[in-house]
Chain A
Amino acid sequence: MHVKAQVGMVMNLDKCIGCHTCSVTCKQVWTNRHGAEYIWFNNVETKPGVGYPKRWEDQEEWQGGWELDRKGRLRLKAGGRLKKLLQIFWNPDLPEIDDYYEPWTYDYEKLTTAPLSEHDPVARPKSQLTGKDMSIKWGPNWDDDLAGAPEHALRDPDLEGLGEQVKLEYEQAFMFYLPRICEHCLNPSCVASCPSGAMYKREEDGIVLVDQEKCRGWRFCVSGCPYKKVYFNHNTGKAEKCTLCYPRIEAGQPTICSETCVGRLRYLGLVLYDADRVEEAASTPDEKDLLDAQLGVFLDPEDPEVRAQASRDGIPDDWIEAARRSPVHALALRYRVALPLHPEFRTLPMVWYVPPLSPVANAFEHAEPGDPDDVFPAIDALRIPVDYLANLLSAGDAEVIRGVLKRLAAMRSYMRRKEVGRRPDAGLAEAAGMEPADVEAMYRLLAIAKYEDRYVIPQAHTELAGRLMEQQGTCGLDFEGGPGNCGAVPASEPATNESFMLTDMAEGRMPAEAAANDEPDDQPLRLNIVEMLERGSRAAPEAEA
Chain B
Amino acid sequence: MLRRGVPAIRVAGCLVTTVFDLMLAQYGVEREGLPGDWPAGYDDPEQPYTPAWQEEITSVDARLAIRIAREFARNAEQTNGRSMICMGAGTNHWYHSDQTYRTFLSLLVLCGCEGVNGGGWAHYVGQEKVRPFTGWQSLAFALDWTRPPRQQAATPFWYMASDQWRYEGFSAEELASPLGRGLFTGRQFADCNALAARLGWMPSFPSFDRNPLDLTDEAKRAGVPAAEHVVRELREGRLHFAAEDPDAPENFPRVLTVWRANVLGSSGKGHEYILKHLLGTTESAQSADETPPELRPAEVVWRDEAPEGKLDLLTTIDFRMTGNCLFSDVVLPAATWYEKYDLSSTDMHPFVHAFSQAIPPPWEAKTDWGAFQRIGASFSRLAAKHLGVRRDLIAAPLLHDTPDEIAQPYGEVRDWKAGECEPVPGRTMPKLIEVERDYGAVAEKMAALGPLLEEQGNAVKGASWKPVEEVDYLRRKNGVVRGGAGDGQPSLELAEQACEAILALSGTTNGRIAVEGFRSLEKRVGLPLADLAEPRAGDRITFQDTQTQPRTVLTSPEWSGIEAHGRRYAPFTINVERLKPWHTLSGRQHFYLDHAWIQELGDGLPTFHPPLHYRRHFGEQGLREEGRLEVTLRYLTPHSKWSIHSEYQDNLHMLTLFRGGPVIWMSREDAERIGVRDNDWIEAYNRNGVIACRAVVTHRVPEGTCLMYHAKDRHVNVPRTELNDKRGGTNNSLTRIVMKPSHFIGGYAQLCFGFNYYGPTGSQRDEVTVIRKRSQEVVY
Residue of A nearest to B322 (CB): A111
* Closest A-B pairs by Cβ, 9 of them: A364-B63, A148-B678, A136-B660, A111-B321, A147-B696, A168-B699, A150-B668, A146-B700, A141-B657
- Surface stretch bound by A, among B400-408, B440-448, B711-719: B711-719
Total A-B pairs, Cβ < 8 A: 133
Give chain B residues whose Cβ lies under 8 Å from the Cβ of A122: 714-719, 727, 780
Given known contacts A147-B665, A173-B700, is B715 in contact with A123 (CB within 8 Å)? Answer: yes
Contact pick for B656, options A104, A151, A170, CB 8 Å: A104
Give chain B residues whose Cβ lies under 8 Å from the Cβ of A136: 659-661, 679, 717
- Surface stretch bound by B, among A22-30, A67-75, A271-279, A386-394: A22-30
Given known contacts A119-B283, A120-B727, A125-B660, is B679 in contact with A148 (CB within 8 Å)? Answer: yes
Question: Does chain A have a CB within 8 A of B221?
Answer: no
Per-residue CB contact flags for chain B residues 665-687 toward chain A (1 = under 8 Å, else 0) read 10110000000011100000000
Q: Are B697 and A151 in contact (CB under 8 A)?
A: yes
| A–B Cβ pairs within 8 angstroms, 20 of them | A18-B641, A23-B653, A27-B653, A104-B656, A105-B652, A106-B652, A111-B326, A122-B715, A122-B718, A124-B780, A125-B717, A136-B717, A141-B657, A149-B699, A150-B698, A168-B668, A363-B64, A364-B63, A364-B67, A420-B78
Contact pick for B679, options A23, A137, A170, CB 8 Å: A137
User: CA A402 – CA B715 in complex, angstroms?
Assistant: 49
Contact pick for B321, options A112, A139, A147, A369, CB 8 Å: A112
Q: Are A111 and B715 in contact (CB under 8 A)?
A: yes
Give chain A residues whose Cβ lies under 8 Å from the Cβ of B678: 147-148, 150-152
Question: Does chain A have a CB within 8 A of B702?
Answer: yes
**A19-B642, A122-B780, A168-B668 given; 19 more Cβ-contact pairs under 8 Å:** A20-B642, A24-B657, A27-B653, A104-B656, A111-B325, A120-B327, A123-B715, A136-B660, A139-B659, A145-B700, A147-B697, A148-B679, A149-B699, A149-B700, A168-B699, A170-B703, A365-B63, A420-B82, A422-B78
Contact pick for A108, options B74, B321, B780, CB 8 Å: B321
Q: Are A170 and B727 in contact (CB under 8 A)?
A: no
Taking CB atoms and an 8 Å cut-off, the chain A residues in 1-48 that contact chain B are 17-20, 23-24, 27-28
Question: Does chain B have a CB within 8 A of A372?
Answer: yes
Q: How far is the CB of A209 from chain B (nearest CB, A)?
A: 24
User: CA A127 – CA B555 in complex, angstroms?
Assistant: 54
Residue of B nearest to A28 (CB): B653
Question: Does chain B have a CB within 8 A of A103?
Answer: yes
Q: Are B726 and A139 in contact (CB under 8 A)?
A: no
Name B residues whose Cβ lies closer than 8 Å to a Cβ of A.
61, 63-64, 66-67, 71, 74, 78-79, 82, 282-283, 321, 323, 325-327, 641-642, 652-661, 663, 665, 667-668, 677-679, 696-703, 714-720, 726-727, 780
Question: Does chain B have a CB within 8 A of A303?
Answer: no
Majority secondary structure of chain A interface residues (helix, strand, loop or mixed): loop
User: CA A140 – CA B652 in complex, angstroms?
Assistant: 12
Q: How far is the CB of A361 from chain B (nearest CB, A)?
A: 11
**How many of chain A's residues have a CB under 8 angstroms from any CB in B?**
51
Q: Are B700 and A144 in contact (CB under 8 A)?
A: no
Most buried by B among A19, A23, A146: A146
Q: How far is the CB of A139 from chain B (nearest CB, A)?
A: 6
Residue of B nearest to A38 (CB): B656
Residue of B nearest to A109 (CB): B321
Q: Are B699 and A170 in contact (CB under 8 A)?
A: yes
Q: How far is the CB of A384 from chain B (nearest CB, A)?
A: 14
Q: How far is the CB of A359 from chain B (nearest CB, A)?
A: 11
Give chain B residues whose Cβ lies under 8 Å from the Cβ of A381: none
Give chain A residues whose Cβ lies under 8 Å from the Cβ of B698: 145-150
Question: Does chain B have a CB within 8 A of A60?
Answer: no
User: CA A118 – CA B659 in complex, angstroms?
Assistant: 27
Q: Are A119 and B677 in contact (CB under 8 A)?
A: no
User: CA A269 – CA B653 in complex, angstroms?
Assistant: 30
Residue of A nearest to B82 (CB): A420
Residue of B nearest to A104 (CB): B660
Question: Does chain B have a CB within 8 A of A512?
Answer: no
Q: Are A144 and B658 in contact (CB under 8 A)?
A: yes
Q: Are A119 and B641 in contact (CB under 8 A)?
A: no
Give chain A residues whose Cβ lies under 8 Å from the Cβ of B720: 119
User: CA A451 – CA B619 in complex, angstroms?
Assistant: 57
Question: Does chain B have a CB within 8 A of A175?
Answer: yes
Q: Are A123 and B717 in contact (CB under 8 A)?
A: yes
Give chain B residues whose Cβ lies under 8 Å from the Cβ of A137: 679
